[in-house]
């Protein structure tokens, strides 16, 4: 486990997909961290972790982009990434990408400070949440990178499990890939289409009204299928939410392990972060 001292501030790495397609997921994650009493630093010079090029075999192109990213986090504080995929790239593939390079030490140093967003909430902050809002049936889609690369498959369950009024339904073939895979969806569109159609069906069959995920690649893929099937076949369309958006809407932060500026117990009504 982490040997972090009280993390009173973190870097936030928003990811390129959130930047341009799902900024609300990023804004929600930042707000949630703030409500947990954390100061968030967002280096404006961030662009993309380099994974698209890395996974396409263009390693030099990926490395030059990654080199710019690793220079953005000079302070020795956690780097929170609201994506298992980009987090996995930075934590596990930067060390490979910079092996034997002059920046190897810096890449390793950055890799060691990467936390996927839900991992940070659960393992580092040990956040306690209280649910709010109406009774809702949800399904959780964990990205393959969160599950297998970052090893944080159970974190969304642990967060959502704290919220009364939220019932989690399990879709069949839950651990199977949704078929996004970055450029895979473009290079092998037929296989990807078959995978996402099955995934969307499985989630729809649970009866859940909301699908929650921690990766916007999967979300773009699955919600795109939901919407298409809704438009063309009038099938029911569950909403798709990044876990940060969902938690911001449906929960209050009660406290964290560090209790930084957060009320100690749920009966303390004052919300210190609004000060």
Binding residue count for other proteins, defined by CB under 8 A: 75
User: How many Å apart are CA 93 and CA 66, to the nearest integer?
Assistant: 10
* Min CB(193)–other proteins separation in Å: 4
**Residues 188-227: x/- map of binding to other proteins (CB under 8 A)?**
xxxxxxxxxx----------------------xx--xx-x
Provide, rounded to whole angstroms, the least separation between the CB of residue 264 and other proteins: 27
Instruction: Considering only the stretches 21-29, 109-117, 121-129, 254-262, report the one whose residues sit in contact with other proteins under the rule CB under 8 A.
Output: 21-29
Q: What are phi and psi of 48, to 5 degrees?
A: -145, 150
Q: Give dist(CA 165, CA 162) in Å, integer.
A: 10
Residues 23-52 interacting with other proteins (rule: CB under 8 A): 23-24, 26-27, 30, 39-48, 50, 52
And the tokens for 2? 């982490």
Q: Is the Cβ–Cβ distance between 210 and 245 less than 8 Å?
A: no
Q: Is the CB of 57 or the CB of 275 nearer to other proteins?
A: 57
Q: What part of residues 58-117 is at the interface with other proteins (CB under 8 A)?
A: 58-62, 64-65, 67-68, 96
Nearer to other proteins, 20 or 269 (CB): 20
Q: Identify which of residues 245 and 255 has a Cβ nearer to other proteins in the complex.
A: 245
Q: What's the closest the beta carbon of residue 245 comes to other proteins, in angstroms?
A: 13
Nearest distance from C-beta of residue 76 to other proteins, angstroms: 14
Backbone angles phi, psi at 22, to 5 degrees: -125, 55
Q: How far apart are CA 9 and CA 5, in angstroms?
A: 11
79-to-83, 161, 169 alpha-carbon distances in Å? 12, 25, 31
Place of tokens 């040990």: 126
Phi-psi region of 207 (alpha: psi -120 to 50; beta: other; left: phi over 0): left
- Minimal distance in Å, beta carbon 96 to other proteins? 8
| Angstrom distance (rounded) from CA 105 to CA 109 | 6
Q: What residues from 131 to 170 belong to the interface with other proteins (CB under 8 A)?
A: 144-145, 147-149
DSSP string, 138-173: EEEE--HIIIIIS--TTHHHHHHTT-TTEEEEPPTT
Q: At closest approach, how far in Å is the CB of 39 from other proteins?
A: 7
Evaluate whether 129 touches 254 at the Cβ level (below 8 Å): yes
Among 5, 100, 102, 175, binds other proteins (CB under 8 A): 175
Site string for other proteins, 230-249 (x = CB under 8 A): -x------------------
| Shortest CB 165 distance to other proteins, Å | 29
Instruction: Give whichever of 12 and 98 is closer to other proteins, judged by the CB atom.
Output: 12
Q: Contact region for other proteins (CB under 8 A) — 10-18, 106-114, 238-246, 258-266? A: 10-18
Q: Which of 109, 158, 183, 261 binds other proteins (CB under 8 A)?
A: 183
Q: How many helices (H) and strands (E) does the chain have?
A: 14, 10
- Taking residue 170's Cβ as centre, other Cβ atoms within 10 Å add up to 11
């Amino acid at each position: 486990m982490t040997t972090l001292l009280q993390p009173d501030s973190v870097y936030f790495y928003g990811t390129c997909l959130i930047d341009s397609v799902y900024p609300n997921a990023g804004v929600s994650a930042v707000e949630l961290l703030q409500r947990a009493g954390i100061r968030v630093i967002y280096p404006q010079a961030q662009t993309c972790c380099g994974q698209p090029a890395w996974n396409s075999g263009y390693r030099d192109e990926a490395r030059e982009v990654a080199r710019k990213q690793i220079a953005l986090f000079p302070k020795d504080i956690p780097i929170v990434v609201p994506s298992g995929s980009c987090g996995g790239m930075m934590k596990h593939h930067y060390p490979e990408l910079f092996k034997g390079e002059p920046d190897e030490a810096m890449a390793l140093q950055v890799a060691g400070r990467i936390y996927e967003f839900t991992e940070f909430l659960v393992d580092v902050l040990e956040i306690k949440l209280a649910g709010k809002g109406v009774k809702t049936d949800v399904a959780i889609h964990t990205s393959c990178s969160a599950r297998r690369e970052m090893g944080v498959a159970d974190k969304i369950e642990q967060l959502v499990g704290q919220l009364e009024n939220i019932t989690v339904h399990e879709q069949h073939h839950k651990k199977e890939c949704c078929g996004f895979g970055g450029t895979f969806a473009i290079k092998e569109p037929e296989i990807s289409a078959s995978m996402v159609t099955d995934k969307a069906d499985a989630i729809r069959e649970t009866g859940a009204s909301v699908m929650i995920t921690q990766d916007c690649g999967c979300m773009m893929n699955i919600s795109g299928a939901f919407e298409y099937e809704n438009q063309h076949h009038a099938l029911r369309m569950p909403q798709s939410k990044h876990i940060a958006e969902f938690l911001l809407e449906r929960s209050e932060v009660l406290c964290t392990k560090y209790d930084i500026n957060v009320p100690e117990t749920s009966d303390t009504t004052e919300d210190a972060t609004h000060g």
